[in-house]
Amino acid sequence: MSKSYSSLKSILSEILPLHRTLASDDMDKTLQIIGSYMPDSADYTIETYAPGSQVWTWRVPEKYVVHEAYLETESARGAGRSERVVDFKNNPLHIISYSLPVDLILSWDELKPHLRYSERCPSAIPWEFKFYERDWGFCLPKNQFDQLPQDEKYHAVIRSEFISDPQQGFKVASAVVHPEGGANPDAGEFIVMSHTCHPMQANDNTSGVVTEIDLARRLAGRPLPASSMSVRFWFGPETIGTVAYLANHEDQIPNLRGGMFLDSVGNQNTLALQRTRQNNHLLDRVASYVMQKQFGEFRQGEFAQVAPNDERVINGPGVNVPCISLSRFPYPEYHTTDDNLDIIHEGLLVEAVDVAEEIIRIYASNYIPKRTFRGPVFLSGNGLWVDWRDNWALNRAIEKIMMSFEGQHTIFDIAEQVNLDYWMVRDYVEKFRAKGFVTLMPIPSEAQAA
Ligand SMILES: [Zn+2]
């Protein structure tokens, strides 16, 4: 039974403190927590990939274990004092993620190149990582860095371990929510993504994770109309997670009709639409329509220009599934410990879910109606006449709608042409379909096969 929740922020605070790096025990725990909230019907599945294995041009990283990590002055150590300059157990951001193991006595000049701080947020610990060209280092607030004695010797200890056991490998998770009546294989899937990495950070991107959970629950609770696309929900570490997943599921790629990445959606800033790489794709037009309806004027940017994320994979070379993203990027607390619960607003998380949900409901339920009739349809004889006294605008649009069933236009295109609400036009077209006057042609796949 999937767990209930009182707010999105409550799930966020459960995941937030975990040491969520590319692969770690806490990442495994994070994926389990996500699964506990996902709808039961969605068949949430966690997959493990063997460290060191080749995925396209990338390599799957090892699991990272930190037994202990701290920095202390030699004088404190000599005097048997336990105070430490920084300690991993107080905050996982205190070390550069994937730091190599060290146990060294260093002068200030030797230590300094291994210390990282943020000029932008001087009282916060910055998040730094060296996943592939490995090194080691500690992260601390600039204010603390400025106070450190330079005539001291320092003891740097990082007891870390890289585990390449395939059983304990690198993990991602996904689940699928089907439309009313079950999957329609011809319609394919829409994929929603967010990443689970970024230890101790709330907005980037635990906010995306919790909005994605809520979206899945909404689409399971009130399924998309029959014959719509299924919606796949994906969770995992940034970039390498998506690369590893797609490389292991190349057969799924032709099925994907579109995607959405959710990133940093809880902070106080306007929601921005990042367009697909195609830039003026049907998905961009659907998203713009929803954003416009919700906000009037809205913020938008080109592909990978607002908040570059895994759309660079899903909409990238050799895949090229049109993928938008929604985010409230930029924000000043980015990649520091100031990115915490204080900057997250429940109302803004919910607003992001509302917008994402409507984009998906329209895009995934859209199809190309293809006529089976000849001549104008005998409307009043088939219950298809719309009385102008009941709906003047739809009455005026009937002829245009009926002339658009040549297999060239989707319902969304038709609604755009007649400048009417998508759902009103869809309901009307569905009446033609119920009479057998149009058949449903799904939106074709545009994914690259190699
Ligand atoms: Zn980030």
- Say yes or no: 332 and 260 in one domain: yes
Out of 163, 195, 216, pick the residue that ends a domain: 163
446 assigned to some structural domain = no
Distance 198 CA to ligand 1 centre (A): 7
- Say yes or no: 286 and 181 in one domain: yes
Distance 304 CA to ligand 1 centre (A): 13
| Domain carrying residue 412 | 368-441
- Say yes or no: 150 and 272 in one domain: no
Distance 303 CA to ligand 1 centre (A): 17
Q: From first to last of its 450 residues, what are the pLDDT tens digits of the chain? A: 899 999 999 999 999 999 999 999 999 999 999 999 999 999 999 999 999 999 999 999 999 999 999 999 998 888 887 789 999 999 999 999 999 999 999 999 999 999 999 999 999 999 999 999 999 999 999 999 999 999 999 999 999 999 999 999 999 999 999 999 999 999 999 999 999 999 999 999 999 999 999 999 999 999 999 999 999 999 999 999 999 999 999 999 999 999 999 999 999 999 999 999 999 999 999 999 999 999 999 999 999 999 999 999 999 999 999 999 999 999 999 999 999 999 999 999 999 999 999 999 999 999 999 999 999 999 999 999 999 999 999 999 999 999 999 999 999 999 999 999 999 999 999 999 999 999 999 999 999 988
306 assigned to some structural domain = yes
The predicted structure's pLDDT at residue 312: 95
The predicted structure's pLDDT at residue 1: 85
Distance 205 CA to ligand 1 centre (A): 7
- Say yes or no: 341 and 408 in one domain: no
Distance 166 CA to ligand 1 centre (A): 27
Q: C-alpha distances in angstroms, 67 versus 64, 87, 89, 157? A: 10, 12, 9, 10
450 assigned to some structural domain = no
Query: What is the residue type of 394?
Result: L
Pairwise CA distance, residues 154 & 422, whole Å? 65
String of DSSP letters for 3-68: PP-S-HHHHHHHHTTS---SS-HHHHHHHHHHHHHS-GGG--EEEEE-TT-EETTEEPPPEEEEEE
Distance 3 CA to ligand 1 centre (A): 28
- Residue 101 burial (CB < 10 Å; 0-12/13-18/19+)? middle
Contacts of residue 286, Cβ cutoff 8 Å, sequence gap at least 6: 359, 362, 363, 366, 412
Q: At what angle do helices 422-434 and 411-418 cross, to 10 degrees?
A: 120
111 assigned to some structural domain = yes
Is 198 in contact with 127 (CB distance < 8 Å)? yes
The predicted structure's pLDDT at residue 427: 98
449 assigned to some structural domain = no
Is 324 in contact with 260 (CB distance < 8 Å)? yes
Cis peptide before 223 (omega within 30 of 0): no
The predicted structure's pLDDT at residue 76: 85
108 assigned to some structural domain = yes
- Say yes or no: 196 and 342 in one domain: yes
Distance 179 CA to ligand 1 centre (A): 32
- Say yes or no: 254 and 147 in one domain: no
Distance 241 CA to ligand 1 centre (A): 14
The predicted structure's pLDDT at residue 115: 98
Distance 238 CA to ligand 1 centre (A): 8
Distance 375 CA to ligand 1 centre (A): 57
- Say yes or no: 175 and 270 in one domain: yes
Q: At what angle do helices 422-434 and 392-402 cross, to 10 degrees?
A: 60
Q: Which pTM value belongs to this model?
A: 0.96
- Say yes or no: 210 and 285 in one domain: yes
Distance 191 CA to ligand 1 centre (A): 20
Contacts of residue 27, Cβ cutoff 8 Å, sequence gap at least 6: 18, 19, 20, 21, 171, 196, 197, 237
Distance 229 CA to ligand 1 centre (A): 30
- Say yes or no: 276 and 405 in one domain: no
Is 187 in contact with 367 (CB distance < 8 Å)? yes
Distance 204 CA to ligand 1 centre (A): 5
153 assigned to some structural domain = yes
Out of 163, 184, 200, pick the residue that ends a domain: 163
- Say yes or no: 338 and 380 in one domain: no
Distance 444 CA to ligand 1 centre (A): 33
Q: At what angle do helices 25-37 and 8-15 cross, to 10 degrees?
A: 160
Instruction: Give the 3-state secondary structure of residue 108.
Output: helix
The predicted structure's pLDDT at residue 82: 75
Number of folded domains that form the chain: 3
- Say yes or no: 106 and 121 in one domain: yes
CATH label of the domain that carries residue 15? 3.40.630.10
3 assigned to some structural domain = no
CATH label of the domain that carries residue 109? 3.50.30.90
Pairwise CA distance, residues 319 & 259, whole Å? 12
Distance 283 CA to ligand 1 centre (A): 25
Pairwise CA distance, residues 241 & 347, whole Å? 29
Out of 365, 387, 418, pick the residue that ends a domain: 365
The predicted structure's pLDDT at residue 77: 83
- Say yes or no: 336 and 292 in one domain: yes
The predicted structure's pLDDT at residue 448: 95
